[in-house]
Structure 1
Amino acid sequence: MSGGGLSLDELKDLQKQLSKLSSGGNAEAVLAILQQLKAGLHPTEDIIRQSKIGVAVGKLRSHADKSVADQAKALVKDWKSIVDKQRKTKDAASTTKSPSAAPSPSAAGASNRTPASVDGSAKASPVPPAKIDFDTLGDKVRNACLKLLYQSLEIDREAQGLDPSSLFQVAVSIERAILENQGKGSVTQEYRSKVRSLSLNLKDKNNPQLRARVANGEIAPDRLVTMTNEQDLASDKRRQEIEELQMQNLFKAKGAAAQEAETDAFQCGRCKQRKTRYYQMQTRSADEPMTTFVTCVHCNHKWKFC
Structure 2
Amino acid sequence: MVQARGLDIKEIKSLMTGLEKASTTQTTIDILEQLKKDVVPTEKLLRETKLGIAVNKLRSHSEKKVSELVKSIIKKWKDEVTAQKVSSHSQSPTTSATTASKTPPVTSPSSAPTPDVTAEKPKVQRPPNGAPRDVKTDGVKTDVYDDRVRNSSVMVTYNALASDSDAHSDTIFQCSKEIERIVFQNENGATPAYRTKMRSLYLNLKDAKNPSLRYRVVSGEISADRLYRMSPQEMASEDLKMEIKRLEEKNLFNAQGAKEQRAVTDRFTCSKCKQKRVSYYQLQTRSADEPLTTFCTCENCGNRWKFS
> TM-score category by the smaller chain?
0.5 to 0.7
* Alpha-carbon distance change, 304 to 208 in structure 1, aligned in 2, over 3 angstroms: farther
SS in 2 for 1:156: coil
Tell me the CA shift for residue 145 of structure 1.
0.6
TM-score normalised by structure 1 residue count? 0.61
- Structure 2 equivalent of residue 180 of structure 1: 185
Structure 1 residue 174 displacement after superposition: 1.7
CA drift of 1:142 comes to: 0.7
Q: Which amino acid aligns with 1:228?
A: S
C-alpha displacement of 1:259: 1.4
Identity of aligned residues (%): 36
Would the aligned equivalents of 2:59 and 2:71 in 1 still touch at CA under 8 Å?
Answer: yes
Instruction: Note closer, same or farther for the CA distance 1:119–1:171 as it changes in structure 2 (3 Å cut).
Output: closer
Name the aligned partner's letter for residue 145 of structure 1: S
| 2:111 paired residue number | none
User: Which one of the candidate residues 163, 167, 176 is aligned to 1:171?
Assistant: 176
> CA–CA distance in 2 between the matches of 1:119 and 1:223?
29
Please give the per-residue CA displacement for 1:238-261, whole angstroms capped at 9, x wherever unaligned. Answer: 222222223333333333334132
Separation in structure 1 between the aligned mates of residue 136 and residue 47 of structure 2, nearest angstrom: 20
Cα pair 2:270 2:303 within 8 Å, conserved: no
- Note the C-alpha offset of 1:299: 7.3
Match 1:134 to one of 136, 142, 145:
142
Matched, 1:217 2:220: yes
Give 1:152's aligned residue: 160
User: Where do 1:149-298 residues align within 5 Å?
Assistant: 149-158=157-166, 162-181=167-186, 184-229=187-232, 231-254=233-256, 255-264=258-267, 276-281=278-283, 292-295=294-297
In 2, distance between residues paired with 1:48 and 1:164? Answer: 25
Give a deviation string over 1:39-90, Cα, whole Å, max 9, x none: 578999x79986865533332123355532332245457788x79xx9xxxx
Taking the aligned partners of 1:56 and 1:283, their CA distance within structure 2 comes to 29
Which has the larger Rg? 2
Q: Which residue number corresponds to residue 62 of structure 1?
A: 60
Where 2:188 maps in the other structure, the secondary structure is coil
RMSD: 4.9
State the shift of 1:192 in Å: 1.7
CA drift of 1:210 comes to 2.1
CA distance in 1: counterparts of 2:200 and 2:290, whole angstroms: 35
TM-score where L is the length of structure 2 = 0.61
Q: How far 1:11 moved relative to its partner?
A: 9.2
Q: How many residues align?
A: 260
What is the rounded CA distance, in whole Å, between the counterparts of 1:299 and 1:283 in structure 2? 22
Contact 2:153-2:198 within 8 A present in 1 as well? yes
Q: Secondary structure at the residue paired with 1:187?
A: coil
Cα 1:172/1:121, change in 2 over 3 Å: farther
Q: Is the 8 A contact 1:58 1:76 kept in 2?
A: yes
The answer for the alignment partner of 2:70 in structure 1 is 72
Unaligned runs of 5+ in 1: 87-116
- Secondary structure of 2:295's aligned partner: strand
Separation of aligned partners in 2, 1:236 and 1:265: 34
